[in-house]
Chain A
């Protein structure tokens, strides 16, 4: 099955709603708790990046009996140097965002760590698409 969630740009009041609803769905499906936790963490980071860096986007969860694939897509500025962006602690988040406790530069590295397969597709001025794969076992 497929679940789609809109991520509103820069709306911090609604931050985390998309990943929370995907988490709840996986729990209802009986996906093992550890995996739900990893999906939730990865999805949350993707959601926050779309919200903070790209003016919003769309999250899609494709769920089968043994697999969850999360895609986070936005039409934001894209990432010029992916290698640099993937480094722990690297962040271009503005000060006001950091003041809210975001922008530690751990989002992308954590997404890679918590998923079984991670890929990033980004074009400057066009947008970014992140795919995370989670096996249910």
Chain B
């Protein structure tokens, strides 16, 4: 296993009080509390951000870029995602949000819903032309889900649809276009994603699905939300602003919350699942071939989809409602029929097709106890023996999420049996009993038998 694997979530040690909330909720059992502080096992972390949500002391956070990072580039483009629009009531026009982004320093805005329309078309075609092969086909849109598949369900990799996420596809398009239009070299142009989650950010630094990302970095939605609201307050959209921005259809906007990807792709025998534990359950079902009569599954690691990302500012249910209303308003000015409506959002000349850029997911199984199967068997047997000595109540006081994980850590030499407080207690008890027993056996005379014999012998001679 390589440790070169990147993840964005990290622990602010000073803020961590050693409770095991994160340990308990981590879907890949990637966190342990050791010496009173949480530690992330990097090979297991999928950057879903569940720990960020659960930590009561806000000790879990993630590496992201700040607006300052844009200063390194002479021309900055921001990709505005539907989940960002969802932070504002539908009555706030997109023009105002775009103007606000300009006031934050971006030179140009690309509306990600346009990319959503293109990718939806690719998905629709792929699913329609899919002959044979295992089903259901799995969405590739959420990088946290892709990472979950890599580490926990590598057997499902071939079912993941080989299309880019709208963000990555948009970045490729934007970079090429802007460089040509502004006559700038690639290193001068920064394409930024305002992200609802750490997973998207990680994917920019170490992509699992695109060969070469064209994104410069990601800026968390929450971190700019306050500032954006403030500038939007006085924002008067430039004239013709709308004409300068490529926008997608209402279907492209729908990608931000659950069911949107399926709706945009016009799939009927498809289902949408959100929230990492439900996603986990569904992947298990798929692995057992229990869902092979479904064509397509849209899986999002966050509850309610990207509007529920760990970095979004407002409540996910309100955000979802905002987005739904915005979609409804947009539909009033679109062709009735889905394909025609979606087509109206596809105005990018030479938008990239996934085929040329997409990378096949690499399996990264993490359960293996040892490279050598014979050694792994010994360890597994030992693990079983150790597990039998543990109380089996999964209390987490040892810093591992459950007794089985502690048994595994012990076998791997990363923890001690006495990390279990019940074992520690019984050892202390035994030890104390032994002391009491010993104390009753100490002869009251103060001389031992051996000493006495020695004395006698000396006396005789």
Contact = CB atoms under 8 A, between A and B. Distances in A.
B371 A30 contact: yes
Contacts of A1: 377, 380-381
A29 B288 contact: no
A41 interface: yes
Chain B interface size, as a band, is 20 to 34
Interface in B353-384: 363, 365, 367-371, 373-374, 376-377, 379-381, 383
A119 B199 CA distance: 47
A63 B369 CA distance: 15
Contacts of B368: 27-30
B373 A37 contact: no
B365 A30 contact: yes
Q: Which of A30, A41, A63 has most B Cβ within 10 Å? A: A30
A110 B365 CA distance: 26
Interface residues of A, number: 18
Interface in A78-137: 110
B365 A29 contact: no
B4 to A, nearest CB: 20
Main SS of the interface on chain B? helix
A72 interface: no
Nearest to B134: A37
Contact of A33 (B155, B369, B381): B155
A110 B289 CA distance: 10
Contacts of A63: 377
B154 interface: yes
Contact of A28 (B154, B155, B367, B371): B367
Given A28-B369, A29-B369, A31-B373, A37 B380 contact: no
Given A1-B377, A63-B377, A30 B370 contact: yes
Contact of B287 (A28, A37, A110): A37
Nearest to B369: A28
A25 interface: yes
Contacts of A40: 287-288
Contacts of A44: 288
Interface string A33-66: 1101100110010000000000000000001010
B403 to A, nearest CB: 14
Given A27-B368, A28-B369, A44-B288, A33 B376 contact: no
A45 to B, nearest CB: 10
B420 to A, nearest CB: 20
Interface string A7-45: 000000000000000001101111101101100110010
Contacts of B153: 33
Contact of B373 (A24, A29, A34): A29
B16 to A, nearest CB: 29
B365 A33 contact: yes
Given A28-B368, A28-B369, A65-B374, A33 B154 contact: yes
Contacts of A37: 155, 287
B379 to A, nearest CB: 8
B363 A33 contact: yes
Contacts of A33: 153-155, 363, 365
10 contacts: A27-B368, A28-B369, A28-B383, A28-B408, A29-B368, A30-B371, A33-B154, A33-B365, A37-B287, A65-B373
6 tightest A-B CB contacts, nearest first: A30-B368, A33-B155, A27-B367, A33-B154, A37-B155, A29-B376
